[in-house]
Homo-oligomer: A and B are copies of this chain.
Amino acid sequence: MTPPPSAKQKILDSALTIIRAKGYEATTVEDLCQAAGVTKGAFFHHFTSKEDLAVAAAEHWSGVTGELFRLAPYHRHDDPLDRVLGYLDFRKALIRGTLPEFTCLVGTMVQETFGTHPAIREASRKSLVGNAEALVQDIDLAKKKYAPGAAWTSRSLALHTQAVIQGAFILSKACDDPGVAMDTIDHLRRYLECCFKDPNNG
């Protein structure tokens, strides 16, 4: 049924894991080849450079996570605010296992490469902003319903959710404790409830 995974797919899948565990610079091409079970010839057949692989990995990440959120159950709620809060509950539920398993590839990469690899920065930006944009519509509907006069924009609040989630990962990494990320998402959820409770807030 499913065709055997090609070398390209195996490299991309390995990249998600290894770069999240070691970072972009510390990950060598040979690390990726070994994890994928292919040779360097195969690697440079499919990618022109290590940077090219990182850009492709960011796009692969966008595809994987985009699909994950698109199919998630929180979209079933009738109320747009329930969908927004359900997104946060879903993000919190994803925090399990080891840190490299639940933290964000593009957040990790952009931290290292924003000043040195513009192509990776841009691919990371697209992924992060794409996640935010998937939220804007529901935030906008909830705003019209519950807080039409609020000072903040839906786009700004959507970007804020992504920033908080990224920050939660950094603190978790520093403390080597997934619980710190969960606590921060709890605070974020409380903020959103607050945003939609009183239209004069903000």
Contact = CB atoms under 8 A, between A and B. Distances in A.
Given A125-B174, A128-B171, A191-B191, 6 more contacts: A107-B170, A108-B112, A111-B173, A160-B183, A163-B170, A190-B202
A171 B162 contact: yes
Contacts of A22: 112, 115-116
Copies of this chain, tallied across the complex: 2
Interface of A: 21-26, 99-100, 106-108, 110-116, 121, 124-125, 128-129, 152, 156-157, 159-160, 162-168, 170-171, 173-176, 180-181, 183-184, 186-187, 190-191, 193-195, 201-202
A180 B194 contact: no
Contacts of A180: 159, 163
Given A114-B173, A170-B107, A170-B110, A152 B187 contact: yes
Minimum-distance CB pairs A-B, first 8: A167-B167, A25-B25, A163-B167, A23-B112, A114-B173, A194-B194, A191-B191, A166-B167
